[in-house]
């Protein structure tokens, strides 16, 4: 009898595990674009198109390059250059859109779309083609070009504690194209995370929000920012204490500054003792790759950021 109970328990546990696995697989399935056989060979199975055969190899119109599989923005045309290698070449990506990992050959560094994991190509350093000394070698077939007249974007910069949570919630906001974790406001050039957490560089943990002004305006983004964190906490955000975790909005124009201060006045009239700093924007330094899309990759929720309507 005891053996039967043990066996029944094992079977029940196995069935429950299979159920959770199936549920996870369903949750991860996304409505990506339908690909041709050749596109699947390159994008899914990590193949390479024939050199000089891609339509974007010798192509220099103004616009942005998007992922063929999920339409996420990847590269700006201003970062494209002629390398004569046979594939489209870029010396920079749109922040937070491209992931790197070691290729299975153990030598090269593979690049993938950060949103869907599509194989794009490889990245090389030290070749001296441009001042940035980096080359993203990308398969044309992995991208879709969108002319400038169809893509008008703007940037906004917010500091509200740990950038993982701020980034995560802004990425859910309609009209936001991308959100990237990084640093702003300090005196050190290109700081690392280890530099900033010492608390003596003057940097804030900041999220760069790239958005479509035709779908969401700056004022709505600032309101959203105030509603996803506590702008009254004087020493940080939640359990994260320190100068780098303070609340701040970095403005680029007088019009943006006016919007921020007006919204702060509204909140103060509602009884919120807002301590958010309003600071001119400076250089944005992207944080290390392991900080990007942290909660999405971990399949977790922010621990100290939650939406609360205030306006």
Q: What is the DSSP string of the chain?
A: -HHHHHHHHHHHHHHHHHHHHHHHHHHH---PPP--HHHHHHHTT---PPTT-STTTT---SEEEEETTT--EEEEGGGEE--SSSS-EES---TTSEEEEE-TTSSSEEEEETTT--EEEEEEES--SSTT-EEEEE-GGGEEEEEGGG---EEEEEEESSHHHHHHHHHTSTTEEEEEEEEES-SSSS--HHHHHTT-S--EEEEEEEE-TTTS-HHHHHHHHHHSS-TT-SSEETTEESGGG-EEEEESSHHHHHHHHHHHHHHHHTT-----EEEE----EEPPGGGTTHHHHHT---SS-------
Mark whether 202 and 191 lie in a shared domain: yes
Domain-embedded: residue 30: no
CA atoms within 13 A on the CB side of 179: 27
pLDDT, average across residues 243-266? 96
Mark whether 74 and 183 lie in a shared domain: no
pLDDT, average across residues 156-168? 96
pTM: 0.55
Mark whether 226 and 274 lie in a shared domain: yes
Mark whether 129 and 175 lie in a shared domain: no
Out of 94, 116, 149, a domain closes at 149
Whichever domain contains 242, its CATH number is 3.30.1060.10
How confident is the model at residue 46, as a pLDDT? 96
Cα–Cα distance measured from residue 200 to residue 196, given in angstroms and rounded to the nearest whole number: 7
How confident is the model at residue 30, as a pLDDT? 53
Domain-embedded: residue 6: no
Confidence of residue 152 (pLDDT cuts 50, 70, 90): confident
Percentage of residues of the chain with pLDDT beyond 70 = 89
Domain-embedded: residue 117: yes
70-110 tens-digit pLDDT: 999 999 999 999 998 999 999 999 999 999 999 999 999 99
How do strand 134-138 and strand 89-90 relate by DSSP bridges?
antiparallel
Domain-embedded: residue 142: yes
Domain-embedded: residue 106: yes
User: Taking CA 95 as the corner, what is the angle to CA 93 and CA 100, rounded to the nearest 5 degrees?
Assistant: 65
Cβ 248 vs Cβ 276: under 8 Å? yes
Cα–Cα distance measured from residue 128 to residue 140, given in angstroms and rounded to the nearest whole number: 22
Cα–Cα distance measured from residue 222 to residue 69, given in angstroms and rounded to the nearest whole number: 31
Domain-embedded: residue 31: no
Mark whether 276 and 185 lie in a shared domain: yes
Mark whether 159 and 277 lie in a shared domain: yes
Mark whether 219 and 284 lie in a shared domain: yes
34-64 tens-digit pLDDT: 888 999 999 999 999 999 988 999 888 889 9
Out of 125, 149, 173, a domain closes at 149
Number of domains in the chain: 2
How confident is the model at residue 28, as a pLDDT? 39
Domain-embedded: residue 16: no
Question: 5 or 127, which is more confident?
Answer: 127
Domain-embedded: residue 28: no
Confidence of residue 261 (pLDDT cuts 50, 70, 90): very high
189-217 tens-digit pLDDT: 999 999 999 888 999 999 999 998 988 99
16 pLDDT above the threshold of 60: no
| 113 flagged as catalytic | no
User: Taking CA 220 as the corner, what is the angle to CA 262 and CA 177, rounded to the nearest 5 degrees?
Assistant: 140
Find the domain containing 138 and state its range: 37-149
How confident is the model at residue 58, as a pLDDT? 86
Mark whether 218 and 131 lie in a shared domain: no
Partners of residue 280 on adjacent β-strands: 251
From residue 302, give the alpha-carbon distance in Å to each of 51, 90, 179: 44, 34, 15
Mark whether 205 and 281 lie in a shared domain: yes
Whichever domain contains 141, its CATH number is 2.170.150.20
How confident is the model at residue 140, as a pLDDT? 96
Confidence of residue 9 (pLDDT cuts 50, 70, 90): very low
7 pLDDT above the threshold of 50: no
Cα–Cα distance measured from residue 251 to residue 260, given in angstroms and rounded to the nearest whole number: 8
173 pLDDT above the threshold of 90: yes
Phi, psi of 112 (to 5 degrees): -135, 155
How confident is the model at residue 150, as a pLDDT? 57
Mark whether 44 and 102 lie in a shared domain: yes
Out of 149, 168, 198, a domain closes at 149
Q: Which of 67, 113, 137, 304 is catalytic?
A: 137
How confident is the model at residue 148, as a pLDDT? 79
Confidence of residue 298 (pLDDT cuts 50, 70, 90): confident
Mark whether 117 and 246 lie in a shared domain: no
Mark whether 74 and 88 lie in a shared domain: yes
Query: What are the residues whose beta carbons fall under 8 Å from the beta carbon of 95, sequence distance 6 or more?
Result: 178, 180, 182, 208, 210, 284, 286
| 116 flagged as catalytic | no
Confidence of residue 308 (pLDDT cuts 50, 70, 90): very high
Q: Which of 4, 70, 85, 162 is catalytic?
A: 162
Q: Which of 99, 241, 246 is nearest to 159 (CA)?
A: 246
């Amino acid at each position: 009898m005891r053996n039967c109970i043990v066996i029944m328990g094992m079977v029940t546990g196995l069935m429950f595990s299979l159920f959770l696995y199936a549920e996870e697989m369903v949750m991860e399935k996304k409505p990506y674009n339908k690909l041709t056989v050749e596109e699947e060979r390159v994008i899914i199975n990590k193949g390479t198109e024939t050199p000089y055969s891609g339509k974007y190899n010798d192509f220099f119109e103004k616009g942005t390059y998007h992922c063929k599989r999920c339409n996420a923005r990847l590269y700006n045309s201003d970062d494209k250059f002629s390398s004569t290698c046979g594939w489209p070449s870029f010396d920079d990506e749109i922040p937070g859109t491209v992931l790197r990992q070691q290729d299975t050959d153990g030598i090269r560094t593979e690049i993938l779309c950060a949103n869907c994991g599509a194989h794009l190509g490889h990245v090389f350093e030290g070749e001296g083609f441009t001042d940035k000394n980096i080359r993203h070698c990308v398969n044309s077939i992995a991208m879709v070009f969108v002319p400038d007249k169809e893509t008008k974007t703007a940037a906004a910069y917010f500091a509200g504690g740990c950038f993982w949570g701020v980034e995560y919630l802004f990425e859910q906001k309609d009209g936001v194209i991308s959100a990237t974790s990084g640093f702003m406001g300090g005196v050190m050039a290109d700081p690392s995370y280890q530099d900033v957490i010492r608390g003596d560089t003057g940097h804030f943990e900041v999220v760069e929000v790239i958005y479509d002004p035709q779908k969401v305006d700056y004022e709505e983004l600032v309101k959203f920012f105030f509603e996803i964190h506590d702008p009254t906490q004087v020493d940080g955000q939640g359990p994260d204490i320190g100068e780098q975790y303070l609340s701040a909005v970095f403005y680029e124009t007088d019009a943006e500054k006016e919007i921020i201060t007006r919204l702060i006045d509204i909140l103060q009239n509602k009884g919120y003792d807002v301590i958010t700093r309003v600071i001119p924007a400076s250089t944005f330094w992207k944080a290390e790759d392991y900080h990007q899309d942290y909660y999405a990759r971990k399949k977790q929720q922010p621990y100290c950021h939650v939406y609360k309507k205030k306006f």
